[in-house]
Structure 1
Amino acid sequence: MSFVTTQDGVEIFFKDWGPKSAQPLVFHHGWPLTADDWDNQLLFFLAKGYRVIAHDRRGHGRSSQVWDGHDMDHYAADTTAVVEHLDLRNAVHIGHSTGGGQVAHYVARYGQPQGRVAKAVLMSAVPPLMLKTASNPGGLPIEVFDGLRKALADNRSQFYWDLPAGPFYGFNREGAKVSEPVINNWWRQGMMGGAKAHYDGIKAFSETDFTDDLRLIEVPTFVMHGDDDQIVPIGAAALLSSKLLKNGTLKVYEKFPHGMATTHADIVNADLLAFITG
């Protein structure tokens, strides 16, 4: 397996598939998952001739289960460690959910200033801010995230079954075609990671304000969001992010859930390809 060691000694696992001369596409996973969550997209774009890269966030999957550094500043720094180790240039960074926040923070802080980023994608992503505040009345109250922390601490295994079996993929909707293998794969990825990293990660994805990052991003950015996202409500996320971006394009997907890259991979992959080649 391939790893890079960060400046603070954390081993970050990554996949790097495809010709080294091809344009790199870098995929950033959501909480509390792993690079495996992008397997469909990795295989699709590999077949199209791209170089595809995905890493496990610190504390997640096969990366070091360190007890600290589970915040967006470290996530972005870990990303640049992978990018610089592989010397990726002209890259497209694609982030889902928490990974979308990681993309915004990385592109604004590192990728764009270094001239390494061509485009970015925010899919079902948490920016600009999930938490409800006086200046962000459309966000979710802190009690929602306290509830997530309690469920994780009380019975992480059960919590990691209930979330994908319910709102994450929209399997709780009437008439939904429930996939037990998809639920099992979500649970498998979640249980690979560390409880402390996942607990702290809730604060990272819910309380980080990405407004300044979004305003700094100048590369073309594709904002993709389902209007039936029960995890990251579109009104508190994509609709606001697209207005803050200098060069953003918003596409709203009718009745798509939070985990749309899995449930509607054919449509998502086609739209990603069109954006990347456009």
Structure 2
Amino acid sequence: MSTITTPDGTRIFYKDWGPRDAQPIVFHHGWPLSSDDWDAQMLFFVQHGYRVVAHDRRGHGRSAQVCEGHDMDHYAADAAAVMQHLNLRNAVHIGHSTGGGEVARYVARHGQPQGRVAKAVLVSAVPPLMLKTAANPGGTPIEVFDGFRAALAANRAEFFEAVAAGPFYGFNRPGAKRSEPVVRNWWRQGMAGGAKAHYDGIKAFSETDQTDDLKSISVPTLVLHGEDDQVVPIDDAGRLSVKLLRNGQLKTYPGYPHGMLTVHADVINQDLLAFVRS
């Protein structure tokens, strides 16, 4: 397996496909998944001549199940270690959900200062802040995330099945056709990771205020969000993010769920390609 070891001794797994001299497209996965969640996009872009890279976040997938460092700062630093190891430049960074938060922090604190980033894409992403606070009254109450933690600690396997079979892909909507293979693949990816990383990750994706990250990003940034996202509601994330970005544009999708990059890959892939080529 292709791995690197970060400065704090954490082993990170990554995939690196395609011509080494082609423009890199780097994918950052959501909670509690792995780089496998980007299969449809990595195959699509490598077939279009790009170099595609994705890593498993610490504690997720095939990376080390360490006890500490499950926060946005470490996520971004781990991504930076992979980029430095591969010496990627002129890269387009695409992040889904928690991975969108990772992209925002990576670009702001590492990628732009090092001159490695050409563009960024936030797909159904968590920034600027999911949690309801006095300054963010439209956010999600802390009790919801406490419920996530309780359900994960009580029976992680059951909780993950319920998320995948329900709101993540919109399979809980009237008339929706549930795909058992998609649900099983989500569950498989989640259960491959570590419970401690997933438990701590709830705080990372829900309580990290990334307002300053978004404000500091100057590269062209595309924000994609489904209008029926039950996990990260568009009004509390996508619409707010684009207002904070210096060079951002928003594209929304009526009726699309949080996991639209999987169940609507044919549409999302074409829109991503158009932005990369623009």
- Tell me what 1:202 maps to: 202
- Tell me what 1:236 maps to: 236
**Distance (Å, rounded) in 1 between the aligned partners of 2:91 and 2:157:** 36
- Tell me what 1:162 maps to: 162
Matches within 5 A, 1:158-197: 158-197=158-197
Matches within 5 A, 1:11-50: 11-50=11-50
**Distance (Å, rounded) in 2 between the aligned partners of 1:179 and 1:35:** 20
**Distance (Å, rounded) in 1 between the aligned partners of 2:266 and 2:260:** 10
- Tell me what 2:75 maps to: 75
Give structure 1 regions of 4+ aligned residues with deviation exceeding 4 angstroms: none
Residue type of the alignment partner of 2:126: V
**Distance (Å, rounded) in 1 between the aligned partners of 2:104 and 2:177:** 33
Aligned to 2:27, what secondary structure does the other structure show?
strand
Aligned to 1:57, what secondary structure does the other structure show?
coil
The reply to whether residue 96 of structure 1 matches residue 96 of structure 2 is: yes
The reply to whether residue 133 of structure 1 matches residue 133 of structure 2 is: yes
Residue type of the alignment partner of 2:272: L
- Tell me what 2:224 maps to: 224
The reply to whether residue 257 of structure 1 matches residue 249 of structure 2 is: no
Q: TM-score, normalization: structure 2?
A: 1.00
**Distance (Å, rounded) in 1 between the aligned partners of 2:238 and 2:161:** 27
Residue type of the alignment partner of 2:87: D
Residue type of the alignment partner of 1:88: L
**Distance (Å, rounded) in 1 between the aligned partners of 2:175 and 2:119:** 37
**Distance (Å, rounded) in 2 between the aligned partners of 1:99 and 1:109:** 15
Residue type of the alignment partner of 1:98: T
Q: CA deviation at 1:209?
A: 0.3
- Tell me what 2:8 maps to: 8
Paired positions, count: 278
Structure 2: gaps (5+ residues): none
**Distance (Å, rounded) in 2 between the aligned partners of 1:18 and 1:175:** 40
After superposition, the C-alpha distances for 1:3-55 in whole angstroms (9 at most, x for unaligned) are 01000000000000000000000000000000000000000000000000000
**Distance (Å, rounded) in 1 between the aligned partners of 2:11 and 2:177:** 38
Aligned to 2:125, what secondary structure does the other structure show?
coil
Residue type of the alignment partner of 2:157: S
**Distance (Å, rounded) in 1 between the aligned partners of 2:228 and 2:125:** 13
Aligned to 2:144, what secondary structure does the other structure show?
helix
Q: CA deviation at 1:177?
A: 1.4
Q: TM-score, normalization: structure 1?
A: 1.00
The reply to whether residue 274 of structure 1 matches residue 264 of structure 2 is: no
The root-mean-square deviation of aligned C-alpha atoms, in Å, is: 0.3
Q: CA deviation at 1:175?
A: 1.1
